[in-house]
Each structure stands twice: as structure tokens, then as C-alpha cells.
Amino acid sequence: MKILVTGGLGFIGSHTVVELQNEGFEVIIIDNLSNSSIEVVKGIESITGKEPIFEQMDLRDKQKVRDFFSAYDDIAGVIHFAASKAVGESVEKPLLYYENNLGTLIYLLQELVKKGRANFIFSSSCTVYGQADELPITEDAPVKPAESPYGNTKQVGEEIISDTCKVNPQLAAIALRYFNPIGAHSTAKIGELPIGVPQNLVPFITQTGIGLREQLSVFGDDYPTPDGTCIRDYIHVVDLAKAHVVALQRLLEEKHEENFEVFNLGTGQGSSVLEVIQSFERVAGKKLKNKVVARRPGDVIQAYADTKKANEVLGWKALSTLDDAMASAWKWEQKIRK
Ligand code: UD1
């Protein structure tokens, strides 16, 4: 069964391609290589023993998207990762973000609704909840005004899909709201490849650990949390990847009543910035140089998932601990810097 994975050479996309191929799906990757490397195809092949089909394409080219679906008329499902994801850059370049993240979504959906029956999975984010009023965060928590164009693309993206599903009963879609994905494949053949200075905590930690960065800046220790630093729900990327496979299988089963559903994907466990540093120090067996600096504007204080819906409806649960995920991230960092 053929599955299209857009952005399939990216961090979460590549791990999902591995899990799909392990489950016997035939994967076609579309990626424009804007924030990924062609080398990832080899990593995927080396892990799974199977080379995915790869099409280098920019989904902003509407005609190419049309041509693709004419050439492949037997795609059973689409998992749409391709998007820009840097919050700060999105503030600087809003039109780029709206075009990349929403234009491409619209073009894909336009082709899918022509097909009759179609299955679609969208990469969303816990960013839609902003600072939630209640923790852990359930899927019923209200969506808060977005802090950035990036965050807005996830909110509006979900609305575009929901509105499209309402008038196209043949289209079935799931939006997966990721908490904080970290880690790498246990083989260290694929992992996160941030371009430039990492904005996210774990790649900054591993790059500091390896000596690429002088020290980690801890953004604020005066938050109303037990140790004063912000709390997030860090989920191993392989657990996250597996959730995409079960979500896809749910869509393929056609048993559910709703044709648009959302699920939180997290561990349910909150960890503070200091706890994440301690996890690194445990698994790497060394101290991490760090210094507390001012708060980062726009950071929420605490966010961790209520995972009941994904546990019960998808039959999926994150299995890895923070230390497992951190150990895999550290193994990957050491391998790529050799
Ligand atoms: C960030 C984005 C979020 C996006 C997600 C995608 C912001 C404000 N939020 O989430 O919209 O969906 O990435 O991956 O950019 N930290 C440090 N020092 C650092 C880096 C981070 O102390 O050098 C802290 C942050 O203050 C935060 C935690 O580590 O408390 C996690 O930060 P990060 O990895 O950037 O993730 P989010 O802020 O949760």
C-alpha cells in the first residue's frame, strides 16, 4: 500500500518513514531539501533494508503537485510533515510561513478531494494551546491566540482541514498535536539535523556537550514551577513516529464516525529545563556548562499532555523515558561529529 510522506527526510518525517516501511507500507517521499539532506535516504535504507521512492519537489508548485497525483493515482494515505518550523523566523518572514505551511496544505487537499476516498495526517503542535489553563492538557482545551505566524499556521491548518472534511465525507483526516519531540533512531543512522544554531533545547544541549557551543543558556529560573524553569513534555521521536503509523491504520480501517480528529502526542510527563540538563548529565556522564539568563519572550510556563485519548482511541502510548530519548540524542550527536 502506497503512502506519501511529505517532508519525509526531516526529523520526524524520516523516523516515520522507517516505522511505515517496517510495517510493510510502500513509502514515497516528497521533500524539497530546504531543511534536510539527501543522505537521509541512505540512513532510512540502511535501517529498513528498503530504499523509499524519493521525489525532490517543492509543494508550493501547484502544477507539480497535480502532476504528482496524476502519476501516482493509487496513494492510500498522505502524511504531511513538510513545513517551516522556526518560530523566530516566522515572525521575520510571515508570508514565507503562510505560503509554505498553508499554501502547500491547500494544494494537497485540493488533489485529495478530487480522489474520492482519501486519508490525511497533519503535523500539528501543542503550540495551539498556548499557556493552557489546566494541566495536563486535553484535546478539549481551548485553542489560544497564536504567539507567532508559525503557531498560527498550525491553528489555521487544522481549521482548513476541519472545514474541508465537513463538506467532503470521503476525506478522513487526523491532526496530531506534538508536544516536544527529541531523540534519534537507536541505530544513530537518522536523527535531528538542525541548521545553524539550534533553537530547541535538546539539540542545543547535545551540541554544547560535544563542544560546538560554549554553554547552554537556561531561559529563566523564576517561573512559578518547582525549580523555577519551564516545564515541557519531551517525547522520543520514535514513539512519535509509531503514533503516525497507528493513526494511519485507523484512517485505513474506516470504522470511525468522525472524519476529522485531533490527538495529543506526548508522554504525559512534564520535565523542567533543569531536569533535562540532569538527564543529559546522567546519560553522557559529564557536566553540562550552563548559565541562567533572561526569560525567552513567548515561552509558556508549563505544557504537558493528557494522553488518554491517544492511549484509548489509537491504542498508542509513548514507551521511552526522558533518559532513553536523551541517550539516543547524545549517541546521534557523537556520531555526526566524528
Ligand atoms: C518551541 C516553539 C514551539 C514549537 C516547538 C517546535 C517557541 C517559543 N516555541 O517549543 O512553538 O512548536 O519549539 O519544536 O519557540 N530552552 C532553554 N535554552 C535554550 C533553548 C530552550 O532554556 O537554549 C528552554 C525553553 O525556554 C523551554 C524549553 O527549553 O522552556 C524547551 O524549548 P524548545 O525546545 O525551544 O521548545 P518549546 O519552547 O516548547
| pLDDT tens digits, one per residue of 220-256 | 999 999 999 999 999 999 999 999 999 999 999 977 7
pLDDT at position 143 is: 97
Catalytic residue among 107, 150, 178, 234: 150
CA 77 / ligand 1 centre spacing (Å)? 31
pLDDT-derived band of residue 101, with 50, 70 and 90 as boundaries?
A: very high
Nearest CA to ligand 1 atom 8: 299
pLDDT interval class at 73 (50, 70, 90): very high
Cα(201) to centroid(ligand 1), Å: 6
* pLDDT confidence of residue 256: 75
Average model confidence (pLDDT) for the chain?
97
Global confidence as pTM? 0.97
Q: Whose Cα sits closest to atom 30 in ligand 1?
A: 230
pLDDT reported for residue 272: 99
- pLDDT exceeds cutoff 80 at 108: yes
Output the residue whose Cα is nearest ligand 1's atom 26: 219
| C-alpha atoms less than 13 angstroms from C-alpha of 237 in its C-beta half-sphere | 25
pLDDT digits (tens, 9 = 90+) for 167-224: 999 999 999 999 999 999 999 999 999 989 999 999 999 999 999 999 999 999 999 9
Ligand 1 centroid to Cα of residue 160, in Å, is: 26
| Whether residue 40 has pLDDT greater than 90 | yes
Per-residue pLDDT tens for 148-161?
999 999 999 999 99
- Predicted pLDDT at 242: 98
Q: What is the position in ligand 1's atom list of the atom closest to the CA of 181?
A: 14
Cα-to-centroid distance, 231 and ligand 1 (Å) = 10
Whether residue 289 is predicted with pLDDT greater than 80 in this model: the reply is: yes
The atom of ligand 1 lying closest to the CA of 125 is 12
Ligand 1 atom, smallest distance to 178 CA: 12
Task: At 178, give phi and psi (nearest 5°).
Answer: -75, 140
Q: What is the predicted pLDDT for the residue at 45?
A: 98
- Give the pLDDT band (50/70/90) at residue 116: confident
Catalytic residue check, 234: no
Which of 125, 180, 204 most suits a substitution to test ligand 1, by most atoms within 8 Å of the C-beta?
A: 180
Give the pLDDT confidence score for residue 312 in this predicted structure. 98
As a whole-number percent, the residues of the chain with pLDDT over 70 amount to 100
Burial status of residue 206 (CB atoms within 10 A of its CB: 0-12, 13-18, 19 or more): buried
How far is Cα 65 from Cα 180, in angstroms, rounded to an integer?
30
Ligand 1 center from residue 199 Cα (angstroms): 7
Site to probe by mutation for ligand 1, drawn from 84, 123, 219 as the one with most ligand atoms within 8 Å of Cβ, is 219
